[in-house]
Structure 1
Amino acid sequence: MNHGLPDYSTVKAALALAVRAPSVHNVQPWRWRIGDRSIHLYLDPARALAATDPDQRDLVLSCGAALHHLRIACAALGWSAVVHRLPNPADPNHLAAVELVRHRPTQLDIALSAAISRRQTDRRHYSSWPIPHGYLGLVTERAAALGAIVTQASDQPREVLIETMRTAAARHAGDPEYRFELANWSGRHSSDDGVPARNVPRVRPHDELPAREFAAPALADGAHEPDYAELLVLSTSADDRLSRLRAGEAMSAVLLTATNIGLATCLLTEPLELPDLRRKVRLEVLDDVAQPQAILRIGWLPTSALPLPVTPRRSVDDVLDPFESAAAS
């Protein structure tokens, strides 16, 4: 980049944090292009999951999280991001064009940027320690600033979520195409994408909160108590591509805020991948006033829990394309 904008090494440093964003099955469905005066984010359709995510909702959410990670990384490096979402009507996979202006980093910018490298999807059981209401209020506030709503599901709404999770798991267990796709993207031991076996605990049949049954689970989960995770539903007022992108940005803000506080998190999207179950969540958990985009487990890990192995990511060079259109920059 030129004309007084960040140098190439600074942009690549920001992108190295952006690609730490969570994505469905860790498929990392993003491509980046660096123009003369901007950074561009594209959804990579080659990373689509036809059986798991037929309408690409999860892919757009994942890219939204990467976009927010980029904004946070740039802010910590002294650049504020001006984001133009869906800038090219002729190309729906062109999700964002980001222009950068000088910015003095705040303590929050630095703290959230540091949280990017610490955040991990933790599928283990969480402890019974309660989350202070102020912490839940903070993640709600951060999501609202990005156009999303966070709803804490307790009592009957929580039971509805658990029911939809169990139903989704049972349906997917009988779907050979879904099972093949899941097996293809999990159980990995040496790869820069997909879900590593070392990061997945074995699913326990009697767990209250059923999880995806990834291949070859090898992560020890020493908890013998129930999972005391809180369940949060992140939703938006609409359900178009822009809303899903904004939801992904808000999802990132929630995850990084929780990590900065010291909370463990795990994204759950399986029941929302089935239209009738997603409608059930909308009607019975959100009172038919918002569109559910993601479910988040959030809580405290037991003090005995060991650090998770780092989940791999593709390098920036692997997801960076040459910029072909100077007019778009």
Structure 2
Amino acid sequence: MTVRLKPKALERVVERARLSPSPMNTQPARWHLDAEGTVWILADPSRRLSIADPRGFDMRLACGAALEATVLALSELGLGVARTQHFDRGAPASPVPGLEPVARLHLGESTAPHPLAPLMDRRFTWHDGFARANPDQARDLFDWARLHEGLVLVLDRAEIGRLAERNDGALLRLLGEPDYRAEFRRWLRLGAPDEPLVDGIPASALGLSRLGTRLARLALSPRAAPLADALRLTERLFAESQRSETATAILLFARPSLESPLAAGRAWLYRLLELADLGFQAWPMPALLAQPEAASEIRRNAGIHDGNRLISLFRIGVPPRGRTPPRLRLPVARLIV
């Protein structure tokens, strides 16, 4: 039996599905309801990180996470999906000009709410220092990682410290490139009066004080960048290793090399929701993966075989009790097109 979704129901679905993660909180996914009542997931190419993600892999990974979040949100309304079309290659004409088709959901018979659906409220990205995990949490984390092929936990404190320092070095090298620095600045919300707090990474999430935020705006500006680097101001503002070393572990997330980014994104969301259920939150380390030699070495040291691709590196830990970051999300009206 085919089910036609109504516009009001789509609003409720998108309200939930927009909580899915995306690199730098760019939120590239858009939703469209066609005349047949099917739901299209579309990618907005203007939200792609053109310097950090030139091939659009991470954008489609985020859209895959949004796709799975849509399925979970539909289940909360008692709606199932009869058929899902992935558009990795040879996509049809877009129902909305300027946007790229990612997937199309044909709704079917009713279903029970998925057990992971409520966890979308509890998952967030934590950019500050972590609290110490208790022994039960650490054991649960270890047991969980063993259940999933392609997950590797780095638990050795010395290795965590080494990876944290290497990530800082990789980030500073990237920030030394003017185009990357400009893109990085574009997605940081550093308190400019005209900046809407609906996307990107806010200064508060980075642990920047009011003075630190002003200095970050200055350090990332093209004119002041050379002096900021020479004075090591950029390093002091954006180095993460001290906070990274408080992580319980570093998690490597690998998937089959031939798997589409959409399918990988769906699995990515599941793993992050399961982590939240265990009381852990993640903080990505994309700078290391941006360096092919470093990524290959990490994959090799972790024993990830050649048939798998290293998708993400995360610092994971338990956020301090009672602290949650601001959740910046675009309004539903902008996401339904």
Q: Same fold (TM over 0.5)?
A: yes
> Which residue of the partner structure matches residue 314 of structure 1?
330
Which deviates more from structure 2 when the two are superposed, residues 149-158 or residues 55-64?
149-158
CA displacement at 1:214 relative to structure 2: 9.0
For the 8 Å contact 1:121–1:265, the answer to whether it is kept is: yes
Amino acid at match of 2:42: Y
Q: Which runs of 4+ in 1 moved over 6 A?
A: 213-218
> Which residue of the partner structure matches residue 166 of structure 1?
168
For the 8 Å contact 1:40–1:96, the answer to whether it is kept is: yes
Q: Does 1:153 align with 2:154?
A: yes
Amino acid at match of 1:320: I
CA displacement at 1:249 relative to structure 2: 1.2
Q: In the aligned structure 2, how far is the partner of 1:83 from the partner of 1:224?
A: 41
Q: Deviations over 1:192-251 (max 9, x none)?
A: 221112222149xxxxxxxxx999999xx9x999513311111111156x1x22221111
CA displacement at 1:159 relative to structure 2: 6.3
- 2:293 is aligned, of 272, 276, 287, to 276
Amino acid at match of 2:62: S
CA displacement at 1:87 relative to structure 2: 6.7
Q: 1:113/1:224 Cα in 2 relative to 1: closer, same or farther (>3 Å)?
A: closer
Q: In the aligned structure 2, how far is the partner of 1:13 from the partner of 1:214?
A: 38
> Which residue of the partner structure matches residue 292 of structure 1?
310
Q: 1:75/1:225 Cα in 2 relative to 1: closer, same or farther (>3 Å)?
A: closer
Q: Does 1:230 align with 2:249?
A: yes
Q: 1:3/1:254 Cα in 2 relative to 1: closer, same or farther (>3 Å)?
A: closer
CA displacement at 1:70 relative to structure 2: 0.9
For the 8 Å contact 2:130–2:243, the answer to whether it is kept is: no
Q: In the aligned structure 1, how far is the partner of 2:274 from the partner of 2:26?
A: 23
Q: Does 1:124 align with 2:133?
A: no
Q: Deviations over 1:13-50 (max 9, x none)?
A: 11111111111111111122112142111222111212
Q: Alpha carbon RMSD of aligned pairs, Å?
A: 3.3
Q: In the aligned structure 2, how far is the partner of 1:37 from the partner of 1:115?
A: 27
Secondary structure of residue in 1 paired with 2:127:
coil
Secondary structure of residue in 1 paired with 2:125:
coil
Q: In the aligned structure 2, how far is the partner of 1:94 from the partner of 1:39?
A: 11
- 2:202 is aligned, of 191, 196, 214, to 196
Q: In the aligned structure 1, how far is the partner of 2:2 from the partner of 2:257?
A: 38
Q: Does 1:261 align with 2:278?
A: yes
- 1:175 is aligned, of 177, 195, 220, to 177
For the 8 Å contact 1:140–1:149, the answer to whether it is kept is: no
Amino acid at match of 2:176: G
Q: Which of 1 and 2 has greater Rg?
A: 2
> Which residue of the partner structure matches residue 40 of structure 2?
40
Q: Does 1:61 align with 2:61?
A: yes
Amino acid at match of 1:229: T
Secondary structure of residue in 2 paired with 1:60:
helix
Which deviates more from structure 2 when the two are superposed, residues 175-184 or residues 8-17?
8-17
Q: 1:160/1:101 Cα in 2 relative to 1: closer, same or farther (>3 Å)?
A: farther
Q: 1:239/1:227 Cα in 2 relative to 1: closer, same or farther (>3 Å)?
A: farther
CA displacement at 1:5 relative to structure 2: 3.0
For the 8 Å contact 1:79–1:100, the answer to whether it is kept is: yes
TM-score, normalised to structure 1, is: 0.78
- 2:140 is aligned, of 110, 113, 134, to 134
Q: 1:286/1:57 Cα in 2 relative to 1: closer, same or farther (>3 Å)?
A: farther
Amino acid at match of 1:134: D
For the 8 Å contact 2:254–2:310, the answer to whether it is kept is: yes
For the 8 Å contact 1:30–1:44, the answer to whether it is kept is: yes
Amino acid at match of 1:94: P
Q: In the aligned structure 2, how far is the partner of 1:57 from the partner of 1:3?
A: 32
Secondary structure of residue in 1 paired with 2:324:
coil
- 2:107 is aligned, of 94, 100, 110, to 100
Q: 1:64/1:33 Cα in 2 relative to 1: closer, same or farther (>3 Å)?
A: same
Q: Does 1:23 align with 2:22?
A: yes
Q: In the aligned structure 1, how far is the partner of 2:274 from the partner of 2:220?
A: 27
Unaligned runs of 5+ in 1: 204-212, 322-329
Q: 1:282/1:55 Cα in 2 relative to 1: closer, same or farther (>3 Å)?
A: farther
> Which residue of the partner structure matches residue 248 of structure 1?
265
Secondary structure of residue in 1 paired with 2:126:
coil
For the 8 Å contact 1:18–1:70, the answer to whether it is kept is: yes
Q: 1:197/1:158 Cα in 2 relative to 1: closer, same or farther (>3 Å)?
A: closer
TM-score, normalised to structure 2, is: 0.76
Unaligned runs of 5+ in 2: 94-99, 210-218, 222-233
The structure carrying a bigger helix percent of its residues is 2
Q: 1:89/1:234 Cα in 2 relative to 1: closer, same or farther (>3 Å)?
A: same
Q: 1:4/1:172 Cα in 2 relative to 1: closer, same or farther (>3 Å)?
A: closer
Q: Does 1:83 align with 2:84?
A: yes
Q: In the aligned structure 2, how far is the partner of 1:225 from the partner of 1:7?
A: 45
Q: 1:102/1:132 Cα in 2 relative to 1: closer, same or farther (>3 Å)?
A: farther
